[in-house]
Amino acid sequence: MGMDFSTLRSLISRFCAGEENCVDTRTVYIGHKEPPPGAEAFIQQRFPDNRIVSSKYTFWNFVPKNMFEQFRRVANFYFLIIFLVQLIIDTPTSPITSGLPLFFVIIVTAIKQGYEDWLRHKADNAVNLCPVHVVQHGRVVRTQSRKLRVGDVVHVKQDETFPCDLILLSSSRDDGTCYVTTASLDGESSHKTYHAVQDTKAYKTEKEVACIHATIDCEQPQPDLYKFRGNINIYMGNEPVSRSLASQNLLLRGATLKNTEYIFGVAIYTGMESKMALNYQSKSQKRSAVEKSMNAYLVVYLCILISKAVINTVLKYVWQADPNKDEPWYNEKTETERQRHILIRAFTDFLAFMVLFNYIIPVSMYVTVEMQKFLGSYFIMWDDEMLDEELGERAVVNTSDLNEELGQVEYVFTDKTGTLTENNMEFIECCVDGTVYEPDAICNGQVMPGAADIDMIDTSPGPQARERAELFFRALCLCHTVQVKEEETVDGIKHGIHQGKSSSFYISSSPDEVALVEGMKRLGFTYLRLKDGQMEILNRDDEVERFELLEVLTFDSVRRRMSVIVRSSTGELYLFCKGADSSIFPRVISGKVEQVKARVEHNAVEGLRTLCVAYRPLSPEQYEQVCHLLTRAKLEFQDQDKLVAEAYDLIERDLILLGATAVEDRLQEKAADTIESLHKAGMKVWVLTGDKMETAAATCYASKLFRRSTQILELTTKRTEEQSLHDVLFELKRTVLRHYGTMPRDISSGLSSEYADYGLIIDGATLSAVMRPNQEDSNSGNYKEIFLEICRNCSAVLCCRMAPLQKAQIVKMIKTSKEHPITLAIGDGANDVSMILEAHVGIGIMGKEGRQAVRNSDYAIPKFKHLKKMLLVHGHYYYIRISELVQYFFYKNVCFIFPQFLYQFFCGFSQQPLYDTAYLTLYNISFTSLPILLYSLMEQHINMDILKKDPSLYRDIAKNSLLTWPIFIYWTVLGVYDAIVMFFGAYFLFDNTTFTSNGQMFGNWTFGTLVFTVLVFTVTFKLALDTHYWTWINHFVIWGSLVFFVVFSLLWGGIIWPFLNYQRMYYVFMQMLSSGPAWLSIILLITASLLPDVVKKVFWRALWPTTTERIQNADKLYKGQLSEFTPLEALQPPPKAGGQRRGSANQRNAANPRRSDTPNKKVMLTRWQRTTDYCTFTPFLRLSEGSRRSKLGNAYSRAGPETSV
């Protein structure tokens, strides 16, 4: 059912390739009514139902599909083959030794993946079965979401989520508008205004809506949230009325209806064709870099295994070529064996040797790795420092397979709204003609403590200045799209309550506007309401002023300003305009421009969001011209946007500057400190947001993504309109390479903050152009590669106005670049799901925008600040632990199997095992598995506090540095050396010698037991030497495993033997221990095996110590208290007295989290290159608490010759 999936795939691929001008359309019949005869042909198209499917398996395909996926893993497939060989031919060992561990791994993994998919089915059903209301035959009928069809008329009430993509037909509001939050789609939690179709907005009841006779022609579904084209044909009389439809008429699935009682809309995109679903990526299996290294090592050891089997097979037949050695009496062939072809016999012997040596690749390693990942994930969930008491939430691990990947991250892609910021705007100050007005802290209607006794406005300016200031305040009270909500609760949270009294609450599509209107309220001018086209203001004298709202010139990202035209009660006409300084100053003809510009620049340096305010008095004749321009532009359906923009441009001219405002977007607690730590750890941080460029850039400055010295490079639509994309890209490339061209890659890649001078800003439209294959100019080269080269040489990148799928494209582009870096994506909304699924590691934040990101992520954390510990501590530990686990497992199995290989040279290549079957089975399962498992769960090679305070230690493990080929070869050579020492040591020490008091000689099982005893003790002591973090559990497990081996051997050889079918191990272990030379040999061989590794470690640590080893030595010197004296602080001079050094962002937030609580600005005298300069520092490079600005005047304090900025 539904449209052909190949068509859907082609649509998506065409959009991703930049072919947005898709000609395919669909016709939707509203209410499933046929058009009147003669109007148009009735062609009933088939569309998918409204089901959302995110699960991977069904009940019927789970077993075959899961088995296929599991046996695609090289290790699982290899062990399956070995198991089948053991079943088919006569091999030296039992099939149980390979089969049981393999089936245990398969069953456990299948249960785990089945449970995860069951949770996805459960989440899908919760969505698909939720109730929705549909208009049928003039009545509202309740049905399930999954049963919705294209063409159904849907009734949605306030605070409900839209069940599919709808065209707005009418709303409870008289003007046909409704207000919507799209937080789960694009991350913006502000209210947005959508408009009903002009000819249907009057239909308010279900009976009236059921009478609508119309069809909609629109484009086929495509993932861009911000684009929609179509038209509606309404059959009202003889001639159908046609109206164009745009994105302002389209309500998207996942958005929520706000501040509107109800709406009626017609479904046009349902289920997996909705824009939200098209922006979701399918959930693929992620594999860590460590797992890839394990598979590479597996292939190497598989080659070693095959070569061993081939060598032994060849040498066996060479040895048997001598007739005297071919058939000794103890190994005489049967008649069947003699008649078998030599190639068949050789192949059978080859398989037998493969089985004998197959323990070099132990399936138990994969079992141990799975257990380590599963159990290790609980350390994240149990971490009290990652508990958010406000939310009552802990960190959650959805996928434990990627724990070690947290220690390998090179790129961090983060959302902005709700991730870096709280999306909570705060009015800081306003400047009118050079005079600064600064109220106390206002935050969403909540007055900060201690503000009641402060005089909000300085009354010292003269009457003219006061009149100008009041005009400025009126302008901000009128020039906005804010709505007033009278109720006490919004979204279930009480608002607008001051001193126990209920009052109005402001909501808007822009949180900046709310902050400005609330700021004006504190400055004495209160916006009351918009009623019957009249905007009402309560002035400082408690008088209500009314202004008739005539026109609203809405904000857009190209103009970067908005305007209103109002008529006062005295009949005067005004145009009030507010916008970015770059869009206002060129249009100003009078006013105190220089004073205001200086204040704007000052606030911009502080990272505040600034807006300029201007006005223009209009005569009646000028207003008539304005009306004529706007009416003519809005009636044009062709190029309507262009004509409206030209009309706005003509109207917003000859302005008189009034002043400017400064608003701060509240960062999440310790967000700046976290980003700074990630930079120091060598990670590049990119911000991918659907927000406006100006908003996002201000946040980047506040969060220290962009520093004060960062040179910003813009790759935006505005710039590509002035220059061609080709010229802009090559100019930016020349700019960055001029500085970085002569530097080594590791420096220019942004690992060193000293050289990180460039920051790049790109918007979604330009990114589409960059990603599109260029066909116009063959000489232009590959834009994508040039863009990547620019990004590599920038310390930080900001991507704004991103659609969700574009976020995933950015992550994929970096992920698949030639360096193949490890990527991490973090976000809190449904719009972040695509990039979370695309990145190597996806982290969801438990924010206010639903749980879609958390549900689809690999890990979930309450706040952005918890990312610091997750990567720098947990990620570091996980990688250290599992890298040691992998190398150690291969090492101990080389030690285990190589003596078996050497033993074949002394037993006629007869496939005789060196060790008893019990030892072969239990070596990896019992004797040596628990110590390394505990090590991989508990080891802390460096104190946790040091890792948090010195992020640069993260670089020591970057790029999978502990699982490189040289280290792998070292462990393998060490294993071979130990095996040779064990085997030949025992062989030469016991050659032609009697050992027991009664003259008995040791047999082959005693010899094998001696080698095995040395082996178990050697590999266990090796792990003990590598352990830095000792607890009673370590001691218990390491020494306990050796005691268990001894006790088991005594029981196996002396007590359990009567119950066995064979008695070859009877009293062997006790007989060996009764010999003094055997004891001496065990001690000597263990010492000889461990000595080279110990000597190497001692000399390397003394002569060429790593940073980690230096810290370990220092920590021992300070007796575990080194965390109080971190390496970075030890290398830096102590801070000057008097608090002149800047506190970090987390200190600022912890000590005094609100900037406006301490409004006094301070100017700091700083010496740069031995010259004196007065520099006003930014809030994200905040002064310490003792050096805040004072209301009494500017205080100057002198810093040292070098001040860290």
Give 481-538 pLDDT, tens digit per residue.
888 876 544 444 444 434 333 356 787 767 788 889 989 988 888 998 887 778 889 8
Helix (H) or strand (E) holding 150: none
Q: Spell out, as residue ranges, where the chain has pLDDT lower than 50.
A: 1-23, 441-460, 488-502, 742-754, 756, 775, 777-781, 994, 1061, 1124-1205
Cα distance between residue 338 and residue 332, in whole Å: 10
Cα–Cα distances (Å) from 219 to 100, 163, 227, 231, 902, in that order, read: 57, 20, 10, 10, 73
The answer to whether 354 and 85 are in contact (CB under 8 A) is: yes
Cα distance between residue 271 and residue 249, in whole Å: 19
Q: Which two tokens stand for residue 92?
A: 């030296």
Cα distance between residue 179 and residue 173, in whole Å: 10
Cα distance between residue 771 and residue 784, in whole Å: 6
Angle (nearest 5°) at CA 1000 between 995 and 1005: 85
The answer to whether 263 and 175 are in contact (CB under 8 A) is: no
Q: Which two tokens stand for residue 926?
A: 């019992």
The answer to whether 920 and 911 are in contact (CB under 8 A) is: no
Strands (DSSP E) found in 196-345:
214-219, 230-234, 241-245, 250-251, 256-258, 262-269
Q: What is the pTM of this model?
A: 0.68
Supply the pLDDT for residue 284: 62
Supply the pLDDT for residue 101: 73
Catalytic residues: 415
Supply the pLDDT for residue 1186: 36
Angle (nearest 5°) at CA 936 between 400 and 926: 105
- Which ranges of 1029-1126 would DSSP assign to H, the alpha helix? 1032-1054, 1068-1073, 1076-1103, 1107-1117
The DSSP 8-state label assigned to residue 147 in this structure reads G
